[in-house]
Amino acid sequence: MRNPFNPSFGIQPTVLLDREEVQSKLVKDIKALDTPYRTTLIYGNRGVGKTVFMNSVGKQIDQDPTWITIHLIIGDNMVGRLAEMIYQQSTNKIKKIFDQLSDINFEIGGLGLKFTLNDKQTSNYQLVLKKMLKILEKNNQKVLVMIDEAQEVTGMVELASVYQVMISEGLPISIIMTGLPKNVQDLQNNHVLIF
C-alpha cells in the first residue's frame, strides 16, 4: 500500500488527519469577512502540514464562485503582482469593468500587466488594488490571498501594510499565510505592521 501522507515537494497528500472540522470552521470564518480569521497565520515546524492545510482551505474557498483565490509567492512587488493576478483570474465581465476605469489602463504585456494612471506608468499599486477591490465588492466578489512561507522581506511588509489599509476600509480581501515560527514572529514584530 502506498503512503497516503506523501510529504513530497508541492504534492498534496490524499489523506488529512483530524483537520476537517478546523478547516471547515476556518473556511466559514474567512468567508464571513467580519471575523479576526480573515487574517490567518499558520505557523509550525517544517513538515507538520501548514501548506497542506492552507491549500485545502484555499481549494474549498475556491469552489465558491464569489471568491478569487490567489497563491502569491514571496518576493518583490507583491502588491503589483497581486493586482495582476486579480485581473488575470477575474471573470471576463469583471475584466471589462476594470478596463473601463477612466484613469487606469490594464495593458497585457509579455509577462504581466502594465498599469497606467493618467497616461503615466504607475508604481502606486495600492491605488490600483483599492480601485479593483471596490469593483469586486460591487460585483459580490472577494479575494483570498494565500502566501506560503511568509517572512519579513520588503515585498511582504509592503503587502501587509497595504492589506491593513484595505481591511480597515472594509474591502473584500482576506489573507492566509504559513511560516516557520521565527519568520512569523519577525513579521509580527515589524514596527510598521499590526498583526
Residue with cell 501587509: 160
Helices (H) and strands (E) in the chain, counts: 7, 7
For the cut 90, the answer to whether the pLDDT of residue 48 exceeds it is no
- What pTM did the predictor assign? 0.83
Read off the DSSP letter of residue 36. Answer: G
Residue type, 95: K
Query: Lowest-pLDDT range, 3-7, 62-66, 89-93, 184-188?
Result: 3-7
Predicted pLDDT of residue 111: 46
Strands (E), the chain: 39-43, 67-71, 104-108, 113-117, 120-121, 142-147, 173-179
Read off the DSSP letter of residue 13. Answer: P
pLDDT band at 47 (very low <50, low <70, confident <90, very high): confident
Output phi, psi for 67, to 5 deg: -115, 140
Predicted pLDDT of residue 122: 46
How confident is the model over 107-134, as a mean pLDDT?
67
CB of 61 within 8 A of CB of 26? no
The residues spanned by each domain of the chain are 20-188
CB of 178 within 8 A of CB of 54? yes
> Could you tell me which residue, 48 or 169, shows the higher pLDDT?
169
> Could you tell me which residue, 111 or 142, shows the higher pLDDT?
142
Name the CATH code of domain 20-188 (choices 1.25.40, 1.10.3470, 3.30.70, 3.40.50).
Answer: 3.40.50
